[in-house]
Structure 1
């Protein structure tokens, strides 16, 4: 790891987030008025509450609506048809903005995955991870070509195609960051990105630098926080400086803020704490 990446990781690990209002130092002036996350665009990835969705999907969705969430990211249908799952969302007063599919499912039947997304009423069809066997320059070049085809098909159906990152996508192979291949070898009209803020930082990179290099390519964030030991934390209670990232909304192209916690001890309590932060943070 080079010194730039080491320095950024040290910064991420020590810059604790103040839950609440961003401040201005005495004697300085804010460049513009503080703003906030639009409440109608605060969502949660249902993977966070997967243990509850298995037993009581409608009750779990209802609880998320009562917390205040307006939207969700779908992570599987838990044995229900797309139409039945959409009805449960409607009953809970929630709107699905994205659904995660898989690399294998898209290769097997793109039309089926697009139809599922259409029934759910989402805007974004997302591939959330890639097989480890593809982690080469040639493999990610192949992926970029597939994403381009699927992005065109999604756009024809009135959807938008995104890729969700993990830390491994920021590996450097033969002098090239694999993630950069996907951004540089795809057209923003057809392919864009759900940026997982935890995983890009865990991978050693600064989200803001990606906004500057590739403006407008990141319409969705996975808003996920990092504990001091590098594990997952409720949003606003870890080390990631979300106001600094959110402040660059014009460059990023962000539209949807989707909370996620991979390993919550109490999923609904975690969801409530994260919503409380995200609905009040100023930047």
Structure 2
């Protein structure tokens, strides 16, 4: 009975995702028919990126159609969070076919540890990535000792060196738990201090830094040039996710310090959204304006 229920539930979820995809995808592709004065792609020359985790449900239905939608909105850069049963060669062809690039990808920590850094490097090079990012630590991976992060830093020095030799850069993406004191230290600071600056960049998720009541500008000043990647993600008054430019985060002073931060790629992201197309459009519009200054 449980197996039957799970199968039925999975089918219902898949059906829901397909219906949502058709609805959002059709609306998005209609952007292609808009006059150039209205189409988002014509509004900005800035290379605004998108973290595809935002569209993970749609990616699970059709990667080609999802990338076509993203391109239609105007995005030029992509950060992957899984390839959804497509080979690296296929992914590269799809990305380039839409006139985009994929400078970055999120690679789970377990992949580094189980498959090995050389496999990560080979895949990244085949797709055309420049950065491979450790995106998240599970509660089990975090443990309850600062030694966990010191050991991770040692691993990152080794992985980062291997990446550097192949023209890639290792990076680390934060949430808020890295800013909770553990044995009197901030795990985030341990990673910044114990990993050589030339062997690992930081992908700052601005939402989670602000959520942790930390100041992005202070980190830029203390560790200039380390924050090569950003996740541009807004927060509503209740502390939840919001479309970029509609929430409470003051992005202007953060973007004003782009040079000090060392940022090269900015990816719009929203972990949970009920209106994916609006999230894409608003994120592109607001981030383009912020980059233009």
Residue 33 of structure 1 is matched in structure 2 by none
Residue 234 of structure 2 is matched in structure 1 by 225
Which secondary structure does the structure 2 equivalent of 1:152 belong to? helix
CA contact (8 A) 2:46 2:288 kept: no
Q: Which of 110, 123, 135 is 1:116 aligned to?
A: 123
User: Quick one: structure 1 residues 97 and 39, their matched pair in 2 at CA, closer, same or farther if it must change by over 3 Å?
Assistant: farther
Q: TM-score, normalised by structure 2?
A: 0.82
Separation (CA, whole Å) in 1 of partners of 2:46 and 2:118: 30
Greater RCO structure (CA 8 Å; 6+ sep): 1
Q: Which of 101, 104, 120 is 2:107 aligned to?
A: 101
Counterparts of 1:31-180 in structure 2 under 5 Å?
Answer: 39-108=45-114, 109-133=116-140, 134-135=142-143, 136-180=145-189
Which secondary structure does the structure 1 equivalent of 2:253 belong to? helix
Instruction: Show structure 1 runs of 4+ deviating over 4 A.
Output: none
- Between the two proteins, the alignment pairs up a number of residues equal to 246
User: Quick one: structure 1 residues 170 and 50, their matched pair in 2 at CA, closer, same or farther if it must change by over 3 Å?
Assistant: same
CA contact (8 A) 1:44 1:69 kept: yes
Separation (CA, whole Å) in 2 of partners of 1:154 and 1:178: 23
1:40 to partner: Cα distance: 4.2
Separation (CA, whole Å) in 2 of partners of 1:273 and 1:265: 13
Separation (CA, whole Å) in 2 of partners of 1:203 and 1:279: 26
Q: Is 1:216 matched with 2:225?
A: yes
Root mean square deviation, CA, Å: 1.2
Q: TM-score, normalised by structure 1?
A: 0.84
* 1:112-169: CA deviation from partner (whole Å, max 9, x where unpaired): 1111111110110100012323342101000100111110010011101100000111
